[in-house]
Amino acid sequence: MNDFIHGSLYGGGIIVVLLTVTAMALWFERKMAGRMHSRLGPTIVGPFGLLQPVADVVKLLQKEDITPEKADAALFNLAPPMGAIAAIAVAAVIPFSSSIVAADLEVGVLYLLAIGALGVLPVFIAGWGSNNKFAMLGGMRAIAQSVSYEVPLVLAAMVPVILSGSMKVSDIVAYQAAHHWMVTWPFFLGIPAFAIFMLAMLAEANRIPFDIPEAESELVAGITTEYTGMKFALFYVAEYVHTLVASAVGAALFLGGWDGPFAPGIWWMVAKTLVLFAFIYWTRYSLLRFRSDQLMALCWRWLVPTGVVLVAASAVWVVFAG
Amino acid sequence: MAVNEEPKAALATASRTHTSDDAGHFQHPLYQVTLQTPGLSVGTAVFDDLMTWGLKNALWMFPMATSCCGIEFMAGAASRVDMDRMGVIIRATPRHADVMVVAGTITTKMAPRVLKLWEQMPEPKWCIAMGSCAISGDFYRNLYSVVPGIDTFLPVDVYVPGCPPNPEALMAGMIKLQEKISLQRTGKFVTPEVKPELLKITNPSVPRLNDPARRPEQNHEQELSADSPTVDEATAPLEVAAEGPAPELSPLTSPDFEGLLKELGIAELPKDGPPIIPLEQHLALARKLKSLGYRQLVTIAATHWLAGKGRKGADEAEPEHFEIAYALRTVGMGSRVAAWAVRVKAGQPVLTLSGIFAGADWQEREQYDLLGVTFAGHPDLRRLMLTENYVGHPLRREFPADAHWAPWR
């Protein structure tokens, strides 16, 4: 019962904060995109355009809710909430400080990888259910991409698990607080694993340079082509929450999570998450899109073999040097 | 529903005794309750203001950019103007968009597609006509293939004049649209209605070629129903003063082509155009030329002549006829040219070249489309440039010069 209350309170709080931050992330992205295009981004709606995401949501709430006649209505309407839930659920096991964590599972890393992988399903459901060629192609590309990048993601996440000897995310962070952050020592394992993890997370979240499933120039808007109003907004939220949570997971597994001097743990966790998050946007507006075959080649020819070597090397490191 | 029957009936009797003040008002009993709840009206007004504010400040655009206005439109999203400042972003799918910006000339072939995209946009939605062509057709207004202003089939909210309007003008149009949205929400503005005649575009009176309801004889009816000829002046030959001798053209043709022509009884090339060969020799000539290395079909161009009119030097007593000119050239052999023409009476088919030159397929379709020449043996003789339900052939002499195809005019 205690666990239930604890989980509900912390979980609810984390969801509320997460969604607020997501809304602000939309503003942040548009401002940052504007600056990188030598534009200003939103300035008129609210101070510094801060109310722009609010206006967007208010507008999307009023839009007509269209289910195309030839679409599979059940699947079409199931996909958006499913996507949002799958993205938000990952946040449950992330320790935002030594005490703030909604559900500190023993198999936290396994949980976040499994639930993170669940995000593929609504994408494909949406692609199939829309009965639209662009959505269908987008869904198929997303499946191919996400399933492939699942492998290096798991391999990279195994490195901190092996080094710290626990699958519990809070234990991994505590281990880093007690010893070194994964990226500082042993850096020859931590930094490559971190790089693979971030690349695979970008691919999982369909962000540029891996946004082939919704390449505007080829696929109109990918899986969201037929979605209107709040259903489209849910996909958007799922994508941003996924990116945000991926940043938080990266910070927890590799950058020492809440560990840091001078300030309370939560500040460090938030700061690290936001730095990674900003990095993802920076990539988005700097890089071009991969081609499908280049994407697959990167995954199977480079990331997977490197990941296997890293896992083996961490095991050796733990046995002989750890 | 059944629960509401009784109070409604009661209100209906009660309202007879009411004064004329609330005669036009909404009479639902719940509405009467909300009117008497203190503070509720303030709350709903604030809520409505919030909703309007959201609608106004997040206008996502759908770019229906067909020509040069589209370039200015793109500039509107780029650095100097940056419509993202007021929350305007561009979405590639109509399902996400609020405002359709029609930037460019809309042809009769495009119009049904534009309307379809418009119908795919979710309510509430608005339309901006950007540039003279979208507003009125501008100098293409009287062209046979151009819609004279998109408000003939779409409800336009804001007109942004210019040719093309600069991005600042488009942004000014967006601000006008915001004002209009506010006014609409307070009930001060009425959405314009679509002109009903224009709905004919999507429901053609003549079924399209791929429509199973189309009868075969309708092909012919469609050709005959072109507008009546009133154009003696239009077909009169131009009086051009001859200035000195005509310049000598360099010989482009080759001995082999001239030899073939001699076999057909044409001793020397006419000065005023390609040699006219007998209709029955047409296919054989093309085949021989292809075997001689003339592998590329450059053009097929037909001319329509009314009765008594014809090419200079041709028999003035000609009946109404078509002259169809063909041009071939060699590939990689010094680029020699072979050009000839055939002459067919109106309604008489000419044999297709599409079995010999694959490129003849679309060129013959184009001639069929614009002039109504029929090509016997063509695999797929449909209209190419104009809509499938277009009535008449616009490049025929009797087609009125200022008549765009508009069934509502």
Residue pLDDT, tens place only, A232-243: 888 888 888 888
Please determine, for residue B55, whether its predicted confidence score (pLDDT) is greater than 60.
yes
Q: Identify the pLDDT of residue A41.
A: 85
Cβ neighbors of B10 (< 8 A, separation 6 or more) are none
With cut-offs at 50, 70 and 90, classify the pLDDT of residue B26: low
- DSSP, collapsed to helix, strand or coil, labels residue B325 as strand
Please determine, for residue A309, whether its predicted confidence score (pLDDT) is greater than 90.
yes
Q: Identify the pLDDT of residue B196.
A: 58
pTM of the model: 0.74
Q: Which residue of B has its CA nearest to A36?
A: B79
| B9 in reach of chain A (CB within 8 A) | no
Interface touch A221/B92, C-beta < 8 Å = yes
Residue B203 CA to residue B64 CA, distance in Å, equals: 22
With cut-offs at 50, 70 and 90, classify the pLDDT of residue B230: very low
Mean pLDDT value across chain A: 84
Range ranked top by mean pLDDT from A89-98, A258-267, B132-141, B157-166: B157-166
Shortest distance between the Cα of A65 and any Cα of chain B, in A, equals 7
Mean pLDDT value across chain B: 75
Domains and CATH numbers, chain B: 56-201 (3.40.50.12280), 224-231+252-409 (3.30.460.80)
Interface touch B95/A228, C-beta < 8 Å = yes
Q: Residues B389-408: pLDDT tens digits?
A: 777 788 887 776 655 544 43
With cut-offs at 50, 70 and 90, classify the pLDDT of residue A308: very high
Chain A residues with CB under 8 Å of B184 CB are none
**Of residues B334 and A142, more confidently modeled:** A142
| Residue where the block lists tokens 């062209």 | B143
Percent of chain B past pLDDT 90, that is, above it, reads 4
Please determine, for residue B118, whether its predicted confidence score (pLDDT) is greater than 60.
yes
Chain B residues with CB under 8 Å of A43 CB are 85
Chain A residues with CB under 8 Å of B122 CB are 63-66, 228-229
Please determine, for residue B8, whether its predicted confidence score (pLDDT) is greater than 50.
no
| Residue where the block lists tokens 């506010």 | B182
Q: Identify the pLDDT of residue A268.
A: 85
CB pairs under 8 A between A and B: 98
**Of residues B371 and A189, more confidently modeled:** B371
Residue B404 CA to residue B104 CA, distance in Å, equals: 17
Of A56, A65, A216, the CB nearest to B58: A56
Of B53, B93, B98, the CB nearest to A220: B93
Q: Identify the pLDDT of residue B19.
A: 44
| B94 in reach of chain A (CB within 8 A) | no
Please determine, for residue B107, whether its predicted confidence score (pLDDT) is greater than 80.
yes
| B142 in reach of chain A (CB within 8 A) | no
CA B229: distance to chain centroid?
Answer: 23
Instruction: Give the residue-averaged pLDDT of A36-51.
Output: 87
* Residue A201: both structure tokens together: 């997370």
Q: Is B188 exposed, middle or buried (0-12, 13-18, 19+ CB in 10 A)?
A: exposed
Chain B residues with CB under 8 Å of A41 CB are 82, 84-85
Q: Identify the pLDDT of residue B41.
A: 77
Which of B84, B119, B177 to probe the A interface (max A CBs under 10 A)? Answer: B84
Determine the residue type at B271: K
Shortest distance between the Cα of B96 and any Cα of chain A, in A, equals 6
Percent of chain A past pLDDT 90, that is, above it, reads 3
List the one residue out of A205, A151, A197, A203 whose CA is nearest residue A172. Answer: A197
Q: Is A124 exposed, middle or buried (0-12, 13-18, 19+ CB in 10 A)?
A: buried
Please determine, for residue A226, whether its predicted confidence score (pLDDT) is greater than 80.
yes
Please determine, for residue A152, whether its predicted confidence score (pLDDT) is greater than 50.
yes
Q: Residues B287-301: pLDDT tens digits?
A: 888 887 788 888 999
**Of residues B263 and B86, more confidently modeled:** B86
> How many degrees, rounded to 5, is the angle at CA B146 between CA B141 and CA B151?
75
**Lowest-confidence region among A165-169, B271-275, B332-336, B362-366:** B332-336
Residue A96 CA to residue A103 CA, distance in Å, equals: 11
Residue A311 CA to residue B1 CA, distance in Å, equals: 67
Q: Identify the pLDDT of residue B358.
A: 85
Of A37, A62, A66, the CB nearest to B95: A66
Determine the residue type at B325: A
DSSP per residue over B27-40, as a string? --HHHHHHHHSTTH
Q: Residues B176-225: pLDDT tens digits?
A: 898 888 887 777 765 555 555 555 544 445 555 555 666 666 555 555 44
**Lowest-confidence region among A306-320, B1-15, B339-353:** B1-15
Chain B residues with CB under 8 Å of A138 CB are none
Please determine, for residue B54, whether its predicted confidence score (pLDDT) is greater than 60.
yes
**Beta carbons of B137 and B149 less than 8 angstroms apart:** yes
* CA distance between the termini of chain B: 47
Residue A60 CA to residue A71 CA, distance in Å, equals: 21
**Lowest-confidence region among A212-216, A317-321, B362-366:** A212-216
Chain B residues with CB under 8 Å of A236 CB are none
Q: What is the ipTM of this complex?
A: 0.81
Q: Which residue of A has its CA nearest to B85?
A: A42
Interface touch A62/B55, C-beta < 8 Å = yes
Q: Identify the pLDDT of residue B102.
A: 92
